[in-house]
Amino acid sequence: MSLIVLSNAWRRLMNEMTRYIFRQLVAGTILVSAALCCIVWLTQSLRFLQFVVNKGLALSAWIKLTLLLLPNFLAVVIPPSLFFVVLFTYNKLTLDRELIVAQAAGISRLSLTKPALWAATVAAVVCLFLTLLVVPESLRTFKEIQWAMRNDVSQMLLREGAFNQIVPGLTMYVRARAGQGELHGILVHDARDPTAVITLLAERGVLASGANGPHVMLINGTRQQLTGDGTGLTMLYFDSYTVDFGNLSSPTTDRLEDVRERSIVDLFSVGMGDGFTGGEVARMRAEGHQRIIAPLTTFAYTLAALVFLLTGGFDRRGQFMRISCAIAALVGLETAGLGAADLAGRAPLFVPLMYAVGLLPTALGLYIIATPVDWGPVWRRLVQAAST
């Protein structure tokens, strides 16, 4: 009977400890990820302020455009955020002697890693959901809106009450704008041809796009042009007059889809028979594998922190060197992952290398933690080697 009571008490202790550490890890990861996302979002969104300042983009449209980048930022920052939270939490538990007491009570190192592994599992699932479903769709929507803003003159290029330089040599003033691209009080100064400078005035006009690019149809106005010798002025009254803006965008009217916008199914199904080159197909395959393996690196990052903090003895002078080694391991894993992805994008032969870089550190970390070996002398030798 007493053994059953002790067993139940032991089980409750383990559950309470796991939940206690797990809650700290999840809450910390959410806070750190949100903070990093905000920082990255602010730095990246400043690039699009030119649309608001120079081209009259509505503030609500700017917010929508920049918020579409958040899923991609979030998928990138969650794994390192969890790494630093694990590093901070377990280091604090060690300095507070909580982990030391737990190990002295007979709790194994592997049991102490359970909360972190559960947190890593949650983070990996969230990252998989983002990279496989949310990020491609959000990037596609972002690119479509960005392309429309850069190419749809009726939406972007004309501000009321200001002289808008459409292209070098072509300036347009609009007193007021209405819906459906309708303009009022228009002045156009066309100096693209220095030998034939033209000034147009019109009561109203309509913006439109055609086969030759965007243009404006002027209604009820005058056309003024200097004579060839520059001493006279010719004037023409018109009921309607068309001004072509020329080619404001790329020669192709269709937007080319980026690799990051494609769904995971497209990345693995398209081939050279669909009009792609061998290099493009290799990059698509590498992107598809990267979306699968990147979230799984959460386990490798988490175990990199745990390996250096849970193995070896307690040092009253602090764990600065262990933390530094863990951060160096994170940098190494991140660099190796980027290098493997780059190589796989060049040649499919290196795709297994991506999985090796992503999964082998996880297996190695679990082995080191689960093995009942005192790694203290090993870390001390590493510290001495680093100090010298």
Provide block-wise average pLDDT over 10 residues at a time, the chain (388 residues): 60 70 92 90 76 63 82 92 93 79 75 90 95 91 77 60 79 80 85 83 82 77 78 82 67 66 87 80 90 93 90 63 87 92 90 92 90 62 58
Q: Is residue 325 part of a domain?
A: yes
Alpha helices in 311-350 (DSSP H): 320-346
Residues of the domain holding 113: 2-151+260-387
As a whole number of angstroms, the distance between CA 372 and CA 367 comes to 10
Q: Is residue 255 part of a domain?
A: no
Residues 231 and 352 in one domain: no
As a whole number of angstroms, the distance between CA 65 and CA 53 comes to 15
Q: Is residue 250 part of a domain?
A: no
Residues 125 and 67 in one domain: yes
Q: What is the pLDDT of residues 10-26, one digit of tens each?
A: 455 557 778 888 889 99
Q: Count Cβ atoms below 10 Å from residue 194 Cβ, excluding itself.
A: 7
Could you give the 3-state DSSP secondary structure of residue 162?
coil
- Do residues 285 and 351 touch, judged by C-beta distance below 8 A? yes
Can you say how many angstroms the Cα of residue 270 is from the centroid of all Cα atoms in its chain? Answer: 24
- Encoding tokens for residue 109? 């190192």
Q: What is the pLDDT of residues 65-119, one digit of tens each?
A: 888 888 989 999 999 999 999 999 988 888 877 777 777 777 778 888 889 999 9
How much is the pTM? 0.73
Residues 275 and 133 in one domain: yes
As a whole number of angstroms, the distance between CA 29 and CA 220 comes to 63
Could you give the 3-state DSSP secondary structure of residue 229?
coil
Q: Is residue 240 part of a domain?
A: yes
Residues 238 and 104 in one domain: no
Domain count, the chain: 2
Q: Is residue 249 part of a domain?
A: no
Where a domain ends, among 213, 244, 275? 244
Residues 71 and 202 in one domain: no
Residues 216 and 307 in one domain: no
- Give the per-residue pLDDT at 261: 87
Q: Is residue 182 part of a domain?
A: yes
As a whole number of angstroms, the distance between CA 188 and CA 172 comes to 4
E strands along the chain, which residues? 163-167, 170-177, 182-190, 198-210, 213-226, 233-244
Residues 279 and 320 in one domain: yes
